[in-house]
Structure 1
C-alpha cells in the first residue's frame, strides 16, 4: 500500500514519516520508491567542526558576530546537543543588548557548563597538581565516556605539553599555539604553567605509561579503574 502511494501521491495529501535512527538501506520496497522521487531527507547529527560552523551561522542569522575560537569554546562548554547550544546562544543574545559581538567573556559570564565534568576540568586539575580532584574527575569521565576516549584525550594533552617549549621558542602567536594544543587562548597560560611542572623525562615516562595503558585496555581483560589509577599515580608521582 505504501509503495503504491509513494509511486503516485495525490497532490492534496501530506504524509510524513519521522524515524529517529539509522536506515540500513533504502533499496527496497516503498523506501526505494521514496528515494527515487527525492522524498527522503536525512538529517545527520552535526559533529564538532560542523557545529562550530553552525554556531557562527546561527549568530550571523541573528546579526551577531562570534569568532571561531570563541565558538569552539562555547561548544566545549555545552557539548554537541544542538538544542542546548541554541538555548545558550539565545541567553547570550538577550544579555548583549545593543552589542552585536559575542566575546569569550560574554560566554564565560552567561554559559554554565552543561557537562558535570569535562576533559578540560581534568587537564586543569592535573596542571595544578590537584591529585584528589583529578582522580575524582577522571573516574567520573571514565564512567560516562569510557577509558579509550579518556586515554586518547590525556595523550593529546601531554603531547601538547611536550610541544609548548618549541612553539614558545619560535615566538609563535598565542592564538596559533592555543589552536595546536586544543585550547582557548585565554586558557593557554594554564598549559604553559603546567609544562613547567613536568620535566622532559617525566613526560616521556607518562607517554610510556599511556601507551602501556592503551595496550592493556585493548588486549587484556584488566580492570579499567585499576589501569586508570596506576596511570594517575605515575602522573602525580615525583
Structure 2
C-alpha cells in the first residue's frame, strides 16, 4: 500500500489519479495529503475556475459528482475536494429501479481531467460497498491508521530528522508520553519548538521543558515518579502546583496519564519474561525502569485498587457524586494511592 509520502511524491511529479479516497482513524495523514492537493496542484490563477472545496455536512455525493463532471477552464485539470466526507450523505450503493446508479457510473469511468478527493476522517470507509470497490479499481485509496503508543517516539524522531534537526531518545520518549498519539498535536508542538532552536541542533529534555510548558519539577512524570517512591511530600507539592496552574495541568490529562501508567504497571506484573517487558508493554526501554520500580512498590492487588480509584475520581472530576474542587479531589486520590 502506498504511504502518504509516496502519494505526495507522485503528486509532486504530476502523476495524478482521477479519484482519491483518504480514510482512516488517524486524521494527520489525510490532512497532509488533502492540504497538499488543495494548495499545490493548481496555480493561483487556475484555482479561481478549477478548484472546488466542499464540506461533508453541507453537501451530498451527487453535488460532488456533478462538480467532478465539469471540464477544466484554461487548465489541464480541475480539483474537487470533499472535506469531512465522513459527514456527507453518500446515497444508495446499488442501482435504482432503472438499473442506474449515477455515482457508480461516474466512479467506474471518471474524467481524467478531474481530481476528485474524499477526505474521510476518524474512521474507516466500508470496504464492502460498491463505491469503495469502484474507487479502488479506478482511483487510489489511502488508509491512515492510528499509530500504537510505542511507535510514537520513532515517528517523532523521523519527523525531526526530516526537518534537519536531531532529538535525544529521552526527549522523544518524554514527548510521546506527554502528548499522546495525536500526530497533528505532536507535529504542531514540534513545529513551535523548532522555531526556538537552531537548525541542526539536538533537541533536549530541557528544550522541551522550556518550550512546551512542561515544568521541570512539577509535571505528570515527576508525579508518577513521586508516587512510585511513595514520597507524600513531593506528591503534595506537585498537586499544589497543578491546582495553581489548572490550564497547564488539567485533571483529565493528569488522571489519563496516571491511568495509562498504572495500567502498564499492571501489565508488567503479568509479563513472564521480564527481559522482553518493554516490547510486551509497548513502551520505550528508557522508561522500563519506572514500571519495574512501580511493580515492586505496588503489588498486583494494590494496582487493581489504584486503577479503580483513578476511574472513580475521573467520574468525580466530571461532577458525578461530587462537589469537591479538583485540587481537593487530587489530594484525596493521592492519599488513597500512596496508602
Q: TM-score range by the shorter chain?
A: 0.5 to 0.7
Residue deviations 1:91-112 (CA, integer Å, cap 9, x gap): 3322222552112222222221
| TM-score using structure 1 length | 0.60
Distance 1:98 1:214 in 2: 43
CA contact (8 A) 1:66 1:102 kept: yes
Q: Which runs of 4+ in 1 moved over 6 A?
A: 133-137, 140-143, 145-149, 215-218, 228-231
Aligned to 1:75: 176
| TM-score using structure 2 length | 0.45
Cα gap change, 1:93 to 1:145, in 2 (>3 Å)? closer
In the alignment, structure 1 segments of 5+ residues that lack a partner are 161-175, 184-190
Aligned to 2:135: 34
- Map residues 1-238 of structure 1 onto 2, 5 A cutoff: 1-23=102-124, 25-97=126-198, 99-113=200-214, 119-126=220-227, 127=229, 128-130=231-233, 132=236, 144=252, 150-151=258-259, 153-154=261-262, 156=264, 178-182=286-290, 203=297, 207-212=300-305, 232-237=334-339
Deviation, structure 1 residue 81: 2.5
Cα gap change, 1:143 to 1:32, in 2 (>3 Å)? farther
Deviation, structure 1 residue 12: 0.6
Structure of larger gyration radius: 2
Deviation, structure 1 residue 224: 6.5
Cα gap change, 1:67 to 1:149, in 2 (>3 Å)? closer
| Matched pairs, number | 200
Deviation, structure 1 residue 22: 1.9
RMSD over equivalenced CA pairs, Å: 4.5
Flag the structure with more relative contact order, 1 or 2, with Cα contacts below 8 A and sequence separation at least 6: 2
More helix by share: 1
DSSP-derived class of the 2:115 partner:
coil
In the alignment, structure 2 segments of 5+ residues that lack a partner are 1-101, 269-283, 322-329
CA contact (8 A) 1:52 1:72 kept: yes
